[in-house]
Amino acid sequence: MVYLFLFLAALFWGGSFIATRYALTLGGFTVFSLLMFRFLISSLILVTISLVRKIEALKAGDIGKLFLVGLVYPGLYFLFETTGIERTPAFISSIIIASIPVLTGIMARIFLKEHLNFRGWAGVFISIAGITLVVLGENGGRKVSGGDISLIGVLLVFGAALTGAFYTTTTRYLLSRYKPLTLTAFQNVLAFIFFSPLGIIQLTGRQFSVNGWGVVSVLFLGVFASVVAFLSFNKALSLMEAGRASLFLNTIPIISLVLAWLFLGERITVVQLAGILVVVSGVTLASIGKGDYS
C-alpha cells in the first residue's frame, strides 16, 4: 500500500508540469490567474480538512518566520516555476525541479554544516551534466515539438529549484513545531493572498477566455497536485523512512516525460533522453548518499 501512495504522489507531481504547460499555452490562462485559481481551490480544501481535524493554533513568535518562509515557498517558488514552464517544455522543467534533492544537499552542507559524502557530490555533478545534455540536445538544442527551449525559461525553473531547496533546508524548524498539514494549509492560503492581486490585475481590461481542458488542468493542479499528492506522500512518510520515500520521487521526470508525450506531443532527441537518464541517475545517487549526513 505504501508504494501506491508514493506512486500517486509522483504521478500527480509529474502531471503538474503538463497541466501547467497546457493551461498557459493552450488553455487560455495567464500565469497569475492560474496561480490564483490553483491556490484558491487547494486553500479551500486544505482549510476545510484542517478545520475538521481541529487545526493547530499558530504561535505568535512564529508568525514572522512563517511569512518569511511563505514568501520563498510557495511565493517565489511558484512564481519562478510557472513563468519558467510557460517558456520551457514540461519534461525539461520537471528534470530541473528534480535537482532539488541535490541542491538541498549543497545548502545543507553550507548552512547547516551537514556532511555530504562522495556519492552525494558525485550525484551533484552527474545531475548538472545531465541537465546540460537535455538543454543542448540535438540540432543545437533549440527545439522540441512542445516549443523552443528558452534560456530564460530554464533559468526561471532553476530559480524555482533553488528556492525549493532553500525552503527544504530552512523549514525543518517549523516542521518540528507544526504538523505538515498545518504548514501546507497556511502556505496555500498565503499563496492565494499573494497571487490574487496579480491575477486580478492580469485579468482586468482583457477578455478572459479559457477552454474546458484549461479548466480541467487548473482543477487538477488545485486538487491533485496541491492536495492529494501532498497527503499521499505524507502518508507514505508515516509508513517508511524519508530517505527511501524520496528516492521514489526521482521517477517524476520520467512520468512527466511520458505524460508530455501523451498529452502535449512533446518529443525528445536521443541526446536529451540520455540526459534525462543521467539526471535521474545523479539525483538517485545523491539521494542514496543523503542517509550518510551527519
Tell me the CA distances in angstroms from 229 to 111, 169, 232, one per residue in order. Answer: 29, 21, 5
- Global pTM? 0.81
Short-list 68, 59, 84, 36, CA closest to 166: 68
How would residue 166 be classed by pLDDT, with cut points 50, 70 and 90?
A: confident
Helix/strand/coil for 211: coil
Give 293 or 54, the one with higher predicted confidence. Answer: 54
Would you state the pLDDT for residue 144? 38
pLDDT tens digits, 64-107: 988 888 888 888 999 999 999 888 887 778 778 877 777 877 78
Continuous segment of H or E residues that includes residue 148: strand 147-148
Q: What is the mean pLDDT of the chain?
A: 81
Cβ-contact 275, 35 below 8 angstroms: no
43-69 pLDDT, tens per residue? 999 999 999 988 788 888 888 988 888
Most confident region among 22-26, 171-175, 248-252, 276-280 by mean pLDDT: 22-26
**Count of structural domains, the chain:** 1
Does 141 score more than 70 pLDDT?
Answer: no
Using the predicted structure, report yes or no on whether residue 227 has a pLDDT greater than 70.
yes
**pLDDT beyond 70 at 172:** no
Backbone CA torsion sign across 245, 251, 252, 253: positive
User: Domain containing 88: what range?
Assistant: 2-292
Render pLDDT for 102-128 as a digit per residue (tens, 0 to 9): 787 778 777 766 666 777 778 778 877
Per-residue pLDDT at 93:
83
What percentage of the chain reaches a pLDDT higher than 70?
84
State residue 139's pLDDT score: 47
C-alpha cell read off for 70: 511563505
Residue 141 CB partners (closer than 8 Å, separation 6+): 135, 149, 272
Statement: residue 145 has pLDDT above 50: no
Burial letters 154-179, b for 16+ CB under 10 A, else e: bebbbbbbbbbbbbbbbbeebeeebe
